[in-house]
Structure 1
């Protein structure tokens, strides 16, 4: 299809959303809808979109996502470097990283810090996804594990071989493999998503030791991940999950609902938190807490006519990835000095 044809197909897709009273669909919602239509389109098409148009839109949207997120880390130190440094110094067989991001920034940071990791792929020329290696977990214990729940801009599915590979090199039959949500793909295309989700379940269900999962930057918008997360937390009471959010608590209604129903899920937002199913605002004492918690909280203004040491509202800052990185670097430095 020509660029003009793709623009026309895109206009038709936007009209579909207008008919469904969805005013501002994001790119992931568009990709979901296109793939749902492709499953049933056949030769007749769906809602004015032909199978050819739907295939072109799928490819165009994936390429647009890739172009948008294909960035490299700056030369200066970043929170990604802090996270990689922390993982490198505290790595153990239980260190696992889960991300819904498509970008390569976490991989780049781990490699910069020379932290070995396994992401499910094996090989050199066109590394392939090895499901058995993922399930068996037979990789060196000092390696971190990295699981990309929604795929990556360098994952490709070859329509001819039905193999999922990790490569930047495009070959005949390759399609970018980006999973914005759980869809009923054919088995080969769906397999990576399910395998990665299973890794999250396995991590949370680990019963031989207490499990702690720290979540940063996830707004609980993927129902399939939410379901897996909650099922595992309920089946393993010793597991604890801390969802650290950037903005005010009111911006995360789905997370709040889940936290008020599950005591081992805590949601910690800038102004308020839900901990052990109870919601409240943050408070700190100016004289004692400010010095001890200055890297984590920001004290609010002192109320006129009140006791100078009376608890007053404060803001939780770790939801800001930059502040989170600062905290990790501080912890890493402290541990290094102690050794």
Structure 2
């Protein structure tokens, strides 16, 4: 069986706090380590009241300090928001604190709206430099050369593994050209999944980091004891995506009995398109869905979002997924 990993959204629930969301992310990692998951990532989002992972490198530290073996990383850092030099310093530091356990996934999108992007003080055209910024960042993680006047201390020599993240063909082509592992965000952008993977594999050039293509597929999975209960838990994520289309991003909401009472027909169509690759159900249903996804995509790894409102039920979802997959 291919490895399983987790993308934790660090969701802030109605009636809870950002601190609880961060501690819950750490608790997921503690359990996931025991259940056999390979890595847990958190993502950079800004000006989103329901997501607590904006200061991504700090959140990674919090999670890594509570665990021992699971890899912890960014899925991802939105590099156009930052100086590559500063990111190298941050993740070089993490690599020294948690040797052999840090991943750095890189995205080109801002992870926020245009107004907030101005507050970050990065111009929108910074995204056009993404390929060059990736190369610059990569160079900072190599051994420093004699006479090198600028070093990202303590990044030099840490060789933090880079990943390219994407939801379109652009990231696939870049990851292939640079010989880097590629993670596709089919948990919210399923339309380009198969074309992007095909492009990545066909154009891949071996590199010092990777000698063959390695593709990780993002997927929403909600598992419960029965299909009916899993579908009910899944309404939390369906409402969250509905709210995105309404321009009303907010806190994570508790599940409801009938999602049809929440969205309009137009919203339903939009949400179902974005969540088309989701796998929801009992352990048997989930296992069958995962096997079909891996067979269709040839994924080398799955990274799972299980956006369940209740923390204990979210833990149980991840546990059932692992039990179904690994046996």
TM-score of the alignment, normalized to the shorter chain, above 0.5: no
TM-score (norm 1): 0.31
- Identify the structure with the greater helix proportion: 2
Scaled by the length of structure 2, the TM-score of the pair is 0.32
